[in-house]
């Protein structure tokens, strides 16, 4: 679990390697290691792209990271729990996005699908990165 935690908190070198093509212009504005870090990026969900400035919090150090966008309703929460006999780590990723420009149930449904797909790809890259022992 410690290995996953260290990787997720590393916004300078590890995180950029995990990002998919949906993220552009990724940069660290302040910090770079866990709580207090501020990052910026543009996120493309389906046909829409929007820029975000995100502050990192650690509500439960060693177990939970929260990335909260300033001036927006994008919140990403990473929660780690031990799995099995301690030899595994369960990573739960919750993403909330309440964009006032996404109106109607049809648009919200497609936005949720897009977010699920792109963050699913990010989790798959995390898994591959850890399996490779980097």
- Residue 70 belongs to domain spanning: 2-131
Query: For residue 72, what is the domain's CATH number?
Result: 3.30.530.20
What is the rounded average pLDDT for all residues in the chain?
87
Comparison of pLDDT for 96 and 80, the residue scoring more:
80
> What is the average per-residue pLDDT within 104-118?
68
| Range picked from 63-67, 70-74, 94-98, 120-124 for highest mean pLDDT | 63-67
d(CA 62, CA 21): 28
Give the confidence band of 83 by pLDDT, cuts at 50, 70, 90: confident
Give the confidence band of 108 by pLDDT, cuts at 50, 70, 90: low
d(CA 31, CA 33): 6
Cα angle value 13/28/78 (rounded, 5°): 70
> For residue 109, is pLDDT > 70?
no
d(CA 120, CA 134): 20
Comparison of pLDDT for 133 and 10, the residue scoring more:
10
> For residue 134, is pLDDT > 80?
no
Question: Structurally, how many domains does the chain consist of?
Answer: 1
């Amino acid at each position: 679990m410690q290995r996953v935690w260290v990787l997720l908190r590393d916004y300078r070198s590890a995180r950029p390697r995990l990002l998919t093509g949906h993220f552009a212009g990724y940069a660290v504005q302040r910090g770079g290691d866990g709580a207090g870090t501020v990052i910026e990026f543009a996120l493309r969900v389906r046909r829409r792209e929007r820029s975000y400035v995100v502050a990192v919090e650690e509500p439960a150090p060693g177990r939970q990271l929260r990335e909260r966008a300033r001036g927006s309703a994008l919140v990403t929460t990473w929660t780690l729990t031990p799995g099995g006999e301690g030899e595994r780590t369960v990573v739960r990723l919750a993403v909330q996005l309440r964009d006032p420009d996404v109106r109607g149930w049809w648009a919200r449904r497609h936005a949720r699908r897009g977010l699920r797909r792109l963050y699913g790809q990010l989790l798959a890259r995390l898994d591959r990165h850890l399996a490779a022992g980097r």
